[in-house]
Amino acid sequence: MKPYSILHISDLHRSPDDPISNAELISALVADRDRYTHEDPQVAEPEAIVVSGDVIHGVPVGTSNHEARLAEQYAVAENFFHELTSRLLAGDRSRLVLVPGNHDVDWNTAYSALERVDPKDIPADLLSLLYADGSPFRWDWRSRTLFRIANRAVYERRLDAFWRFFERFYVDVPGLLSVHPGDEVNLFNLCDGRICLAAFNSCHDNDCYAFHGMIPREAIARSHLQLNDCGHIFDLRVAVWHHSIEGPPYRTDYMDVDIVRGMIGRAFRLGLYGHQHKTQVAPHEIWLPDRERMAVVSAGSLCAGPQQLPIGVHRQYNILNISPNFRSVRVHLRAMAVANLFSRGNLPDFGGATFADLDWEPPKNLGGTSVDTEAVRTRHIIDEAELATHSGNPARAVQLLRQLALPLGTYARQLFLTASIAANNWRAIIDATETPRSIQELVQRVEALAQLKEFAQALDALDCFSRQLQLPDPIAAELRNRVRAKEAMRK
């Protein structure tokens, strides 16, 4: 089985001092795809795209006609994503995942919601108030001015331009699990329902003076409950957000790593983010009471210029190849080093290798053993198919059970054949019994072929398998007579 492959890009804010066009970007990504699918080790072609924030560059406070400027930048981004989806995902926008980043926050709208605090009204405990969750206060070091959020309704509209773009991109797209503009978390269904991806907005209370990342713990808890209640059994839960989870002293633009630990404890095993403009691959662990691990991967910036990139780092993106058992990932780094073309990059933390491998254990049940998601999914499908059959909808049961392997002697196989007969789905029976494994299956195959007036094939099945399955001669004779009688009636 081949791995499931995700193209992970981030920080598309086009640098004013080193701009790059949509055509150049698309061409570079497509040309690199044509190379890496033939490299050694081979990189699987992407089946999904994850964009971990900073879709546009944004505009500074005081920009005249800032809304029109933002709309222009989002129009460029929207065209880029449509063409990228068309070329890499056959136009299936349900397989492209978007989250906002700090550059997507409209600073002008945020600033318009603030008011200056008179120096005589500055609280004595300002330092603790500034860093409290949900604090209304903002400090500007440049002007040494304290601000207060005076109009919370206006302040909450600082991501409106992003959400309008988001809504246009996903309008009328089928197959989305739970995707709504403005939500703190949106849920996507990937890999035919085997992977769920929770797309978190890490820009909670982020603005022109508050640079930190934050995902409300309530949003993580809600995503956990939604996934538990949605009726799907996922082999892998992936989380994506924008902000980095560690940074140097005196920096305030990263997110508390404890938020990620909360994701790990809720069965997320792969986390993707951006913001720091360089690829980084690392495991994060908690003990609850056994060790639980999450592979956390950041993508470099796809479009930033030299002024925004760390020293010695080029424009980058990642290809993530998730193993068929959903318990590990290989992260391939691609870097734009020469002539605006991507090729293999180097990971310093992994000895200069071009890829890194990380693994994890699946979530555990109450007994402390790993959850067998395949067994759980099979049981869930069988239960749903059984209910559909008994409630007079055998066609639905057939559709559900087609997802399973249906090995000989299993209840699932028996139920599939029973439902197919009830639904008059003769072709399904023929496909499932190409090599009948029992007398009953041979009888069902012969009957199905006769129903479809494929009389010669029905008699051939009797000739081929009667002796092998030790079909009693009287039953074989009766079946032959029935087939010939139906053939005669047709004539």
Contact 328, 297 (CB under 8 A): no
Backbone dihedral angles phi then psi of residue 411, each to the nearest 5 degrees: -65, -35
CATH of the domain at 473: 1.25.40.10
pLDDT band at 428 (very low <50, low <70, confident <90, very high): very high
CB atoms within 10 A of CB 183: 17
Q: What is the mean pLDDT of residues 249-274?
A: 91
**What is the mean pLDDT of the segment spanning 79-102?**
98
Q: Is 239 or 476 the better-scoring residue by pLDDT?
A: 239
Residue 364 has pLDDT above 80, yes or no: no
- In CATH, what number is assigned to the domain containing residue 69? 3.60.21.10
Q: Which residue has the higher pLDDT, 430 or 18?
A: 430
Q: How far apart are CA 441 and CA 186, in angstroms?
A: 46
pLDDT band of 208, cuts 50, 70, 90: very high
pLDDT above 70: residue 491: no
Count other Cβ atoms within 10 Å, centred on residue 18. Answer: 15
**How large is the average pLDDT for residues 308-337?**
94
DSSP one-letter code for 327: S
**pTM for this prediction:** 0.84
Between CA 184 and CA 219 the distance in angstroms is: 6
Report which of residues 383 and 198 the model is more confident about.
Answer: 198
Q: Which residue has the tokens 């222009």?
A: 72
d(CA 201, CA 192) in angstroms, rounded, equals: 25
Q: Percent of the chain beyond pLDDT 90?
A: 72
The angle subtended at Cα 242 by Cα 350 and Cα 214, nearest 5°, is: 120
The model's pLDDT over 114-136, given as tens digits with 9 standing for 90+, comes to: 999 999 999 989 888 888 888 99
Whether 471 shows a pLDDT value over 70: the answer reads: yes
Q: Is pLDDT above 80 for 187?
A: yes
Structure tokens at 490: 């047709």
Whether residue 265 sits in one domain with residue 226:
yes
- Angstrom distance (rounded) from CA 344 to CA 337: 9
389 and 442 part of one domain: yes
pLDDT of residue 431: 92
Same domain, 183 and 119: no
Domain that holds residue 413: 373-490
Q: Tell me, what's the pLDDT at 146?
A: 96
Give the DSSP H/E element, type plus range, for residue 28: helix 22-36
pLDDT at 433 > cutoff 60: yes
Whole-number average pLDDT of the chain: 92
* CA angle, residues 133, 264, 219, in degrees to nearest 5: 40
What pLDDT sits at residue 424?
94
pLDDT for 167 equals 98
Question: Is 408 found in the same domain as 322?
Answer: no
Domain-located, residue 63: yes
Structure tokens at 353: 């290798």
Longest distance between any two alpha carbons in the chain, whole Å: 105
Residues 429 and 450 in one domain: yes
Does one domain contain both 354 and 379? no
- Model pLDDT, residue 201: 98
Please tell me whether residues 312 and 342 are part of one structural domain.
yes
pLDDT number for residue 1: 80
> Residue 93: what pLDDT?
98
Q: What are phi and psi of 434, to 5 degrees?
A: -55, -40
Percent pLDDT > 70 in the chain is: 98
- Residues 147/134, Cβ–Cβ less than 8 Å: no
d(CA 105, CA 179): 20
Domain boundary among 313, 328, 359: 359
pLDDT range class, residue 367, cuts 50, 70, 90: low
Q: In the chain, what are the helix, strand and coil shares in percent, each to the nearest 5?
A: 35, 20, 40
Residue 366 lies inside a defined structural domain of this protein: no
Question: What gap in Å lies between CA 59 and CA 233, rounded to an integer?
Answer: 43
Q: Cα–Cα distance between 244 and 298 in angstroms, integer?
A: 8
What's the average model confidence in pLDDT over 378-404? 91
pLDDT confidence band for 85 (50 / 70 / 90): very high
The pLDDT assigned to 368 comes to 62
Indicate whether 312 and 349 sit together in one domain: yes
For residue 126, what are the contacts with CB-CB under 8 A and spacing of at least 6?
A: 137, 139, 146
Asked if the structure places residue 364 within a domain, the reply is: no
In a shared domain, residues 435 and 477 = yes
How many domains is the chain built from? 3
CA angle at 269 for the pair 265 and 273, rounded to the nearest 5°: 105
Burial of 422 (0-12, 13-18, 19+ CB in 10 A): middle
Q: Do 197 and 241 contact (CB within 8 A), yes or no? A: no
* Distance, C-alpha 185 to centroid of its chain: 12
Q: Could you tell me how many helices (H) and strands (E) the chain has, helices first?
A: 15, 16
Instruction: Give the model's confidence band at 473: pLDDT under 50 very low, under 70 low, under 90 confident, else very high.
Output: confident
Distance CA 273, CA 292 (A): 20
Mean pLDDT score, 204-223:
95
Radius of gyration of the chain (CA): 29
Number of neighbours of residue 134 by Cβ within 10 angstroms: 9
pLDDT band at 488 (very low <50, low <70, confident <90, very high): confident
Q: Please indicate, yes or no, whether residues 206 and 311 belong to a single structural domain of this protein.
A: yes
What is the residue type of 413? R
Q: Does residue 302 lie in a domain region?
A: yes
Residue 365 covered by a domain: no
Looking up tokens 């860093």 gives 131
